[in-house]
Amino acid sequence: MRMKGKFHLGTATLCAAALTIAAATNSAATEVTHVAAPAPVTALHASPTSKVVKLTWVNPKTGTYSAVMVRRLPGTTAPATFKLGLLVGAWPAGHNLIYDTKVVAHTTYSYSVFAYKGTAYSAPAKVTTTTALSAPLIFSTGSYALNYPTSITYDGANMWVPNVFGNAVSEFVAASGKFVRNVFNTSGHDVFNHPSDVAFANGSIWVTNPPGPGNPGQPSGTVTQINAKTGLVTKVLGASSAGGAPTFFDPEEIASTGADLWVVNGDYNGGAGSLTEFSATTGLLVRTVTGVSGDFNNPNAILAVGPDIWVTNNGNGTLTEVSVATGAVLKNITGFPNPTALAYSNGDIWVAINDSSTQSVSELSIATLSIIHTYSAGLNLLRPGAMVIVGTHAFVANTRGGIGTTISVVSTTNGSLVTTLSGAAYTFDGPCRLIFDGTNIWAVNETNSTLTEFPPV
């Protein structure tokens, strides 16, 4: 109806308009108050001890979140949402480090960290870690069928230990120490002969078997491949070179570069030492490295570091550097009388020396190929034969058997003695190999057929 130049709207029309405006207003308000989920935190890292887990991370862009929340679950599965698991705590924006003190030693935990703003939560950043032991843990021959163990390797979850006199390889869960299985020779099919060293590559465990009376079909020695998931032996290399397979000459130590395995061949039957490289995928020979006279003189320990392979030579007291890419011998470095073990730390190679007149550890610069330091005074070294470096500490095993067997902990910063590990709590007896699983150190005691797992100091 038109009245005096004005429009008159009916009540129904006005109500409808009001509802439309209100709806639009509410919609706009909803759009304004909606908060997008923040980006997740990155670079989440866990550093455990036996009593605390330290978590660090990198936060998303300032202003995009208001706080972070940390939750955890026991085991290897982290909380999928911000409502699952135990709430460790929540902290305001900018916080990127916390200490979880409500943990139990030698236990696996999985953490999730969420950035959030209001009710909007990011996707979780996840990490799994295992707290260290509060005291050493001993694995004995009676419980685990260990029989003169000589080496150890870590596949990312489990430990594998060859037993010389048992002709078997034992498997343990690294996080819990739980025994998994022994892989034995089968009737009529001897796949192990006094197995001596072991390495992990491409989902398989690779075990060296030296020649001898127990290996008559392969007088030069073999390498056995075990499927790490099933524990089944899948291949024995060395019996024949047919089809491009590798052969060995007294295989001793073995090291992995990821794609390939490198085996140290000793001086069996008076022959010169050498290296055999073969594919971890196909098991086929890549190359045999012989070098020139004196390059491999009674070779023993081997270490793969970046682009190079390093080999100790007990016969002439040298360290040989070999190119991973080409197999070329790059350098023979003198000054290591009777070198027995190798370890890497911060751009340097550390060498344990067990000479009649020198019980020491030497630090070699990879950049200059020169010896930086040789440390011996006050380190309580006695036939050092195994070594592993954790942080700024070198753990050096003194391999003399008996009750007095010890491990010297040496500072890699200044070569001083940090402490000496010994006594009934550790039960070291001829420790011949050390390995770090990311949380604890494992020592292989060949003389009393035990393993000692202990937290680093």
Task: Please give the chain's pLDDT, 457 residues, in tens.
Answer: 344 444 344 444 434 444 343 444 444 444 445 679 999 999 999 999 889 999 999 999 999 999 999 999 999 999 999 999 999 999 999 999 999 999 998 899 999 999 999 999 999 999 999 998 888 999 887 667 799 999 999 999 999 999 999 899 999 999 888 899 999 887 567 789 899 999 999 999 999 998 865 444 455 789 999 999 999 999 999 988 888 999 998 898 999 999 999 999 986 545 578 999 999 999 999 999 997 777 899 899 999 999 999 999 988 999 999 999 999 999 999 999 999 999 999 999 999 999 888 899 999 999 999 999 999 999 999 999 999 999 999 999 998 655 458 999 999 999 999 999 998 889 999 999 999 999 899 999 999 999 999 999 8
Read off the tokens for 33. 């108050």
Which residues on adjacent β-strands are paired with residue 161?
170
Topology, domain 133-182+340-457:
Neuraminidase (2.120.10)
- Cβ-count burial 52-84 (b if 16+ within 10 Å, e if not): ebebebebbeeebbebbbbbbbeeeebbeebee
Which residues on adjacent β-strands are paired with residue 408?
396, 420
| Rounded to 5°, angle at Cα 372 from 330 and 294 | 35
Beta strands in 59-201 (DSSP E): 67-74, 86-92, 97-100, 108-117, 120-121, 125-130, 137-139, 153-154, 158-163, 168-173, 179-184, 197-201
CATH 2.60.40.10 assigned to domain 185-334? The reply is no
Residue with tokens 């370890």: 343
pLDDT score, position 16? 42
**Taking the CB of residue 293, how many other CB atoms lie within 10 A of it?**
8
**Distance between CA atoms of 67 and 416, rounded to whole angstroms?**
44
- 276 close to 238: Cβ distance less than 8 angstroms: no
**Distance between CA atoms of 267 and 274, rounded to whole angstroms?**
9
| Amino acid making up residue 430 | G
Threshold 0.85, pTM exceeds: no
CA 329 and chain centroid, separation? 27
What class does CATH assign to 42-130?
mainly beta
| Amino acid making up residue 52 | V
Read off the tokens for 238. 């060395």
**Distance between CA atoms of 188 and 217, rounded to whole angstroms?**
12
* H helices present in 80-231, as ranges: 141-144
Helix (H, G, I), strand (E, B) or coil at 339: strand
pLDDT score, position 31? 46
Burial class of 287 by CB neighbour count within 10 A (0 to 12, 13 to 18, 19+): middle
Length of the chain: 457
pLDDT score, position 185? 81
